[in-house]
């Protein structure tokens, strides 16, 4: 052993000792049953094995042994594997991370998580061993998130028997588990989440024992008494290297989190954001030097930060990789704290990138922090004093339990009074011990009494919210990625409790909901059970929501109904965060599988699983009666368009909507309550910035541009062009007729592709596909680049005399094909295979033989390029199409159609191409291989840094970064708002939240009320709809209805059609007719059979002739 504790000892001796300890522990080596006795010589043989070989063997076993039955035998088989970390800190055994580096990451499974963490962080996480102590709702939530994240091992510690009330939040317990040890009862289910993570069970030690903690990198304690937590933390803090310690608890609607990662914890990346890159346009020879950047994007550098330069021409001394400090940062310029007077003169180009500096944090032990907690992490600025109050309350709760042997009892005012007295004692004691570090608090006794009243409660939303935060803190401790909580975080959702239930109402009933009844009472529980709720989406958010609703008992009563819909199917990449799915569920309906899993957690759940998208086309499924019967809608969607549609329906039917979303470590929640808050669509995010068309096609200056181009060309070759060919072959006459009508530049280009696909580029053998790929290579990376350089030489000038090739433009250089270059052959191989698939050509065996493929590629003789002077290359950044129309387009289209006639006539009547739809998550289909090679070759032409296939997939596949922890945080918060909705809370009780687990940051605020319109004695908002009764209501009667309100109607529309307007004399004939007849006759309005009304948009004026926006008008005719 070369470094750390135990240095100098023989590795085999240390390993044998660890294995002996491991073999003597029946809990560690097997979940149940006898443990095979391991002879000493087998241990020595095992210790002499290579660590790398063992890890490869371990990973193969994990893939094979993922079900519950094999979990028990799995740990016995592992005795021969070298478990150094089980008895010694992994950091000690692997100081340079070589073991972690050797671990393979399943990039298909973890692609969304890799987009957040990156490979290095994932490898660090994959080498960590975490202990989770306490396996009620909070503990299992933490463990679930850690297993999904892919740490090396999670050990569970909780010998306490399962109680009925545990089922309020512990989603892996069943009635049959009552009386069994908690840790053992959920280990197998946790193992199923990720076979690559070892989940084991350890016995609870004696109260004084701490040395066992040496086996772990991170120790997470829940339901741990303060004195024991102090002892554990003291040991972890003093350990070399330090062991990260986290203590967390939820008590009813209140929660605490404490973190201690040691005296010198290094945060390598405090926020997880990609460092900004600026494009340099000038650098002065002065001291300090003034650096000016292209005005493409505002600089986000801060004074005092470090930056690095590269690709600077002229002042090349700045390309030395040395970080330089900046000052006087403006929108597009900054100064260097450096004198560049004697450096070479700047010529052009250059990129400047922010350097992320590591940050060292000095954590203090829990024992020291109790009296001097430092600054608390705030989350709700309406409760600035609440964290200090809760610091006292949680300390007092430990003291109460120590004195009474139990939590304060629900509904017992005597317990509440005793608790408040203890709070005053603790408050005075902490203030005295702190010597000014903790000021004596003004205690809000009403809040403290609520705290005591609900402290024995156990709520699934609280466990989910806090469990997401704590799991993320544990991952920070493993990896140094993101800034940890420093050091206390207190949270409460006391607003979720409208009123404390009566003593009789909150007494335990012996049911699975007792943890929730202790907080809200039996009557409230019955309300939840009778809810008619609708969850839209069954992905990551949807899985968490279904779990939460099942635990809360929502829609579990006789008249309750929970509908969930999702038209998507399960993919492998879903498994890393959509925790209700398993490997054997891939390809099946998300809503069905998730619904069945949720019912497994609570068999009483009344569930209706649907596979329909919620959109205008499915209003026959989600009809008026469906929406009218709902009590609440919960969105679990991943796109704005669908969110806006659901929001529109909720506004129309006046239904509460709970909205949420995640983006990597960030999350947001929004509560929409009819009449109280604005709706989701009331505010919109600004549109994403798009690169100009000319930049993508001719002047890329970053890898994103290259990948956007590659994705576009890929889809053209394998999807759009084949589909266009099939459209022609399906009906040549109709296709030709339509082409002649259009006869524009775009039609001309499409026809050219069809002629080429059926003529010159038609392939009948795989060898012809290889030749086609070689020809395309030359066209993309030699001919087009050569033509661009011919049109705009390196010394070209713009109309105002400035250099044409000035930043951000990058001067390109053509590439000649080289079969020895792996990137060139990757392009040829993937392009050839996909071309063969498009033309339905069987792939020969030699298509994967690199040597034969090289020979076939080399057989193509590249014709000499001849530049043309008549080529127009678009340079206008405002242009939206690179194909322009001209006067002779019609004649060109006619000529192309004439060329098509004989080509189509030569084909078999059944001949069709096979369009291929882009699929990013299948590494065997060559899609990302082709896109990556195309993008990197283009980047090489423009001297842009190339990327690997994973990074290409993230960008070109437009993969949304996602992790399980932020999903848990968002859904937990949403369900706390659900409790307020059911309780009929006032607007000031609701909270919209933005969270960022990387900082960490939680910003909560009251929702914005809806905009209210007023006229005379009337007022209305978006939530109002004016309903007019009348089967035989005439148009004149409708006008009179408005006139009586002092409004002058001048126009009536139904859908897109105008049915009456005061300016049209002929419309007077309609005044005496029933409105229903008018809208059906003139607007052709089709009213569904189950609908009892139709809607009108009425335009009105006030007495002064000014337009007034009024609500939608519904006329009931049934």
Q: Would you state the structure tokens that stand for residue 216, as one six-digit string? A: 């772990």
Residue whose structure tokens are 């030359």: 778
State the first-to-last Cα distance of the chain, in angstroms, to the nearest integer.
85
Q: How far apart are CA 131 and CA 672, in angstroms?
A: 40
Q: Known catalytic residue: 18? A: no
C-alpha 665/C-alpha 117 separation (Å) is: 10
Residues in Cβ contact with 1088 at an 8 Å cutoff, skipping those fewer than 6 apart = 619, 620, 623, 624
Does the CA dihedral 110-113-118-121 come out positive or negative? negative
The torsion angles phi and psi of 396, rounded to 5 degrees, stand at -65, -35
DSSP state of 269: B
Percentages of the chain per state (helix, strand, coil), in multiples of 5? 45, 15, 40
What is the DSSP secondary structure assignment for residue 1073, as one 8-state letter?
S
Alpha-carbon separation of residue 244 from 222, 238, 729, 755 (angstroms): 14, 11, 67, 66
Nearest to 997 by CA among 548, 217, 478, 468: 468
Cα 82 to Cα 12: distance, rounded to the nearest angstrom = 10
CA distance 1002 to 696: 38
Reference 979, options 586, 666, 671, 601; nearest CA is 671
The residue written with tokens 């199923």 in the block is 192
- Rounded distance between C-alpha atoms, residue 168 and residue 601, angstroms: 10
Of 301, 970, 974, give the one whose Cα is nearest residue 664.
970
Return the closest-CA partner of residue 635 out of 746, 541, 505.
541
CB 1013 within 8 A of CB 1020: yes
Smallest Cα–Cα separation from 676: which of 981, 1080, 267? 981
Question: How far out from the chain centre does Cα 353 lie?
Answer: 26
d(CA 666, CA 145): 16
Could you give the residue ranges of the DSSP H alpha helices within 383-412?
386-404
Q: How far is CA 426 from CA 260, 365, 369, 434, 623, in A?
A: 23, 19, 14, 12, 58
Burial class (CB in 10 A: 0-12, 13-18, 19+), 643: buried
Structure tokens at 650: 């909720």
Give the C-alpha separation, 591 to 567, whole Å. 8
Residue 719: DSSP 8-state: I
CA 947, 951, 957, 963: dihedral to nearest 10 degrees?
A: -170
- CA 3 to chain centroid, in Å, comes to 39
Q: What radius of gyration, in Å, describes the C-alpha atoms of the chain?
A: 34
**Selected catalytic residue, list 379, 694, 706, 847:** 694
- 995 near 966, Cβ under 8 Å? yes
Q: Rounded to an integer, what distance in angstroms lies between the CA atom of residue 983 and that of residue 965?
A: 28
Name the DSSP class of 616.
Answer: G
| Residues involved in catalysis | 694
């Amino acid at each position: 052993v070369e470094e750390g504790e135990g240095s100098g000892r023989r590795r085999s001796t240390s390993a044998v000792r660890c294995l002996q300890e491991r073999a003597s522990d029946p809990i560690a080596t097997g979940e149940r049953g006898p443990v095979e006795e391991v002879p000493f010589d087998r241990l020595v043989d095992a210790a002499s094995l290579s660590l790398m070989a063992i890890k490869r063997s371990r990973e193969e076993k994990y893939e094979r042994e993922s079900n519950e039955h094999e979990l028990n035998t799995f740990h016995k088989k592992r005795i021969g594997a070298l478990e150094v970390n089980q008895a010694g800190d992994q950091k000690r055994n692997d100081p340079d991370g070589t073991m972690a580096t050797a671990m393979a990451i399943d990039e298909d499974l973890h692609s969304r998580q890799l987009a957040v963490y990156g490979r290095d962080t994932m490898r660090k996480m994959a080498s960590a061993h975490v202990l989770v102590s306490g396996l009620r709702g909070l503990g299992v939530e933490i463990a679930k998130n850690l297993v999904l994240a892919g740490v090396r091992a999670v050990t569970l510690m909780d010998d306490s028997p399962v109680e009925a009330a545990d089922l309020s939040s512990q989603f892996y317990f069943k009635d049959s588990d009552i009386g069994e040890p908690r840790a053992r009862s959920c280990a197998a289910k946790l193992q199923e989440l990720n076979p690559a993570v070892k989940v084991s069970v350890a016995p609870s030690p004696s109260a004084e024992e701490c040395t066992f903690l040496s086996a772990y990198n991170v120790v997470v304690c829940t339901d741990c008494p303060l004195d024991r937590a102090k002892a554990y933390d003291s040991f972890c803090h003093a350990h070399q290297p330090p062991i990260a310690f986290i203590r967390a608890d939820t008590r009813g609607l209140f929660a605490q989190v404490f973190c201690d990662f040691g005296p010198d914890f290094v945060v390598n990346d405090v926020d997880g954001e990609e460092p900004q890159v600026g494009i340099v346009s000038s650098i002065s020879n002065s001291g300090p030097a003034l650096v000016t950047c292209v005005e493409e994007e505002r600089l986000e550098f801060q004074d005092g930060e470090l930056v690095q330069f590269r690709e600077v021409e002229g002042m090349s001394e700045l390309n030395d990789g040395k970080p330089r400090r900046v000052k006087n940062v403006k929108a597009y310029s900054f100064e260097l704290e450096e004198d560049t007077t004697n450096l070479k003169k700047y010529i052009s180009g250059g990129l400047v990138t922010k350097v992320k500096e590591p940050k060292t944090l000095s954590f203090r032990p829990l024992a020291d922090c109790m009296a001097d907690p430092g600054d608390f992490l705030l989350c709700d600025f309406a409760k600035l004093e609440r964290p200090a109050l809760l610091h006292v309350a949680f300390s007092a709760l430990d003291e109460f339990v120590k004195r009474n042997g139990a939590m304060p009892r629900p509904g017992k005012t005597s317990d509440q009074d005793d608790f408040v007295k203890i709070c005053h004692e603790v408050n005075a004691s902490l203030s005295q011990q702190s010597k000014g570090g903790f000021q004596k608090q003004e205690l809000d006794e009403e809040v403290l009494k609520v705290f005591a009243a609900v402290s024995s409660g156990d709520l699934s939303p609280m466990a989910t919210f806090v469990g997401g935060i704590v799991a993320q803190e544990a991952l920070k401790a493993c990896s140094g990625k993101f800034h940890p909580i420093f050091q206390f975080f207190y949270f409460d959702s006391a607003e979720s409790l409208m009123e404390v239930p009566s003593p009789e109402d909150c007494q335990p009933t012996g049911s699975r909901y007792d943890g929730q009844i202790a907080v809200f009472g039996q009557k409230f529980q019955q309300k939840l059970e009778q809810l008619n709720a609708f969850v839209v989406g069954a992905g990551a958010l949807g899985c968490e929501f279904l779990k939460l609703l099942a635990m809360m008992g929502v829609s579990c009563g006789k008249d309750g109904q929970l509908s969930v819909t999702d038209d998507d199917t399960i993919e492998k990449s879903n498994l890393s965060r959509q925790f209700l799915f398993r490997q054997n569920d891939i390809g099946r309906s998300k809503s069905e599988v998730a619904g069945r899993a949720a019912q497994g957690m609570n068999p009483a759940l009344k569930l209706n699983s649907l596979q329909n998208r919620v959109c205008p086309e499915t209003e026959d499924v989600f009809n008026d009666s469906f929406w009218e019967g709902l009590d609440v809608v919960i969105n679990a969607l991943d796109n704005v368009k669908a969110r806006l549609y659901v929001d529109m329906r909720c506004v129309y039917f006046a239904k509460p909507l709970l909205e949420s979303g995640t983006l990597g470590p960030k999350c947001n929640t929004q509560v929409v309550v009819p009449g109280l808050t604005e709706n989701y669509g009331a505010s919109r995010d600004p549109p994403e910035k798009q690169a100009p068309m000319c930049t993508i096609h001719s002047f890329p200056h970053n890898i994103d541009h290259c990948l956007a181009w590659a994705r576009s060309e890929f889809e053209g070759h394998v999807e759009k062009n084949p589909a266009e060919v099939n459209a022609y072959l399906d009906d040549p006459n109709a296709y030709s007729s339509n082409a002649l009508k259009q006869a524009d530049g775009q039609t001309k280009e499409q026809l050219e592709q069809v002629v080429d696909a059926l003529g010159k580029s038609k392939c009948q053998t795989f060898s012809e596909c290889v030749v086609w790929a070689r020809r395309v290579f030359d066209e993309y990376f030699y001919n087009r680049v050569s033509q661009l350089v011919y049109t705009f030489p390196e010394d070209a000038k713009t109309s105002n005399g400035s250099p044409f090739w000035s930043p951000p433009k990058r001067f390109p250089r053509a590439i000649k094909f080289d079969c020895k270059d792996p990137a060139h052959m990757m392009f040829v191989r993937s392009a050839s295979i996909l071309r063969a698939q498009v033309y339905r050509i069987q792939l020969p065996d030699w298509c994967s033989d690199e040597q034969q493929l090289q020979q076939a590629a080399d057989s193509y003789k590249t014709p000499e390029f001849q530049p043309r002077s008549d080529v127009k290359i678009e340079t206008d950044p405002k242009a939206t199409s690179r194909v322009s129309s001209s006067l002779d387009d019609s004649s060109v289209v006619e000529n192309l159609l004439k060329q098509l006639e004989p080509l189509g006539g030569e084909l078999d009547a059944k001949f069709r191409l096979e369009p291929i739809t882009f699929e990013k998550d299948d590494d065997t289909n060559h899609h990302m291989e082709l896109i990556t090679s195309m993008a990197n070759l283009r980047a090489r032409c423009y001297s842009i840094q190339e990327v690997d296939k994973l990074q290409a997939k993230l960008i070109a596949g437009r993969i949304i970064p996602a992790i399980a922890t932020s999903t848990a945080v968002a859904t937990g918060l949403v369900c706390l708002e659900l409790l307020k909705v059911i309780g009929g809370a006032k607007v000031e009780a609701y909270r919209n939240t933005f969270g960022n687990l990387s900082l960490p940051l939680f910003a909560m605020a009251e929702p914005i009320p809806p905009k209210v319109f007023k006229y005379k004695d009337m007022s209305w908002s978006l939530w109002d709809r004016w309903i007019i009764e009348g089967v035989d209501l005439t148009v004149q009667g409708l006008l009179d209805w408005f006139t009586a309100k002092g409004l002058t109607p001048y126009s009536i529309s139904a859908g897109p059609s105008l049915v009456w307007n005061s300016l049209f004399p002929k419309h007077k004939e309609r005044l005496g007719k029933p409105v229903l007849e008018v809208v059906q006759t003139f607007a052709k309005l089709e009213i569904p059979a189950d609908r009892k009304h139709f809607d009108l948009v009425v335009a009105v004026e006030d007495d002064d002739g000014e337009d007034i926006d009024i609500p939608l008008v519904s006329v009931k005719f049934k």
